[in-house]
Amino acid sequence: MRLIILGPPGAGKGTQAKRLAERLGVPAISTGDIFRSNVERGTPLGRQVKQYLDAGEYVPDSVTNEMVHDRLGEPDALAGFLLDGYPRTTAQVEVLDGILAESEHRLEAVIELVADTEVVGARLLRRAEIEGRADDTEDVIRRRLEVYQEQTAPLTDVYAARGLVRRVDGMGSMDDVTDRLAKALEG
Ligand code: ADP
């Protein structure tokens, strides 16, 4: 299974991606997690991307694409994956198409996790208090939501035109959402 999960910051994508991937037996690959872990470890990649994460801006496509290309080439991703946080721009969509074409694979589905913008803003602020993520401050959250609307929301149409999108309501309890996601993939 090769899947993408799309949705605004705070929609619960990360949590749901991990749960769903576990059920499906494929790795959940989160570009945000990979970037954050590199920042925490102070790797060269981490030093390169920190400024973008802190500001709520997207990391340049060249950096992101190379990282994803390498990650998808790792053995655990060969039989399938659930991508969380990638692609986020139309240029990234093209690169992913290329990566998949190289290995003669195709996407099975693109899950759109739908969430209310007011709810997600409030969720992110609450999470900030608990997890202390550097980019969960009010200004940066606002910027992340803006960048999402401008650059990533249009990807739903791109994939809808290919008949791949499954819309799933992201509101409600975590378990309910996971069940809905699993059901959406059965259909
Ligand atoms: P969220 O969806 O809550 O904003 P993520 O963990 O998916 O959180 O991403 C955090 C940050 O990592 C983004 O704001 C951006 O700076 C960077 N990032 C993650 N994925 C990408 C991507 N595909 N392209 C560019 N930047 C990315």
pLDDT in tens, 115-124: 988 888 888 8
Nearest atom, ligand 1, residue 92 CA:
23
Which amino acids bring their CB within 6 angstroms of ligand 1? Answer: 9, 31-32, 35, 52-53, 56-59, 64, 85-86, 88, 92, 135, 144
| pLDDT for the residue numbered 90 | 97
Would you give the end-to-end CA distance of the chain in angstroms? 14
Helix (H) or strand (E) holding 85: none
Number of H helices, E strands in the chain: 9, 5
CA 1 to chain centre: 16
| C-alpha closest to that of 86 among 34, 121, 138 | 34
Q: Which residues of the chain carry a pLDDT beneath 70?
A: 187
Residue 40 contacts by C-beta under 8 Å, 6 or more apart in sequence? Answer: 46
23 is known as an active-site residue: no
**Across the chain, what does the average pLDDT equal?**
94
pLDDT in tens, 9-22: 988 899 999 999 99
CA distance 93 to 66: 13
| pLDDT for the residue numbered 118 | 83
Residue 14's SS3 state is helix
Task: Count the neighbouring beta carbons within 10 Å of the beta carbon of residue 173.
Answer: 8
133 is known as an active-site residue: yes
| From 88, 123, 166, 180, active-site residue | 88
CA distance 186 to 89: 28
| pLDDT for the residue numbered 79 | 92
| C-alpha closest to that of 94 among 169, 38, 9, 162 | 162
| pLDDT for the residue numbered 155 | 98
| pLDDT for the residue numbered 129 | 85
| pLDDT for the residue numbered 128 | 84
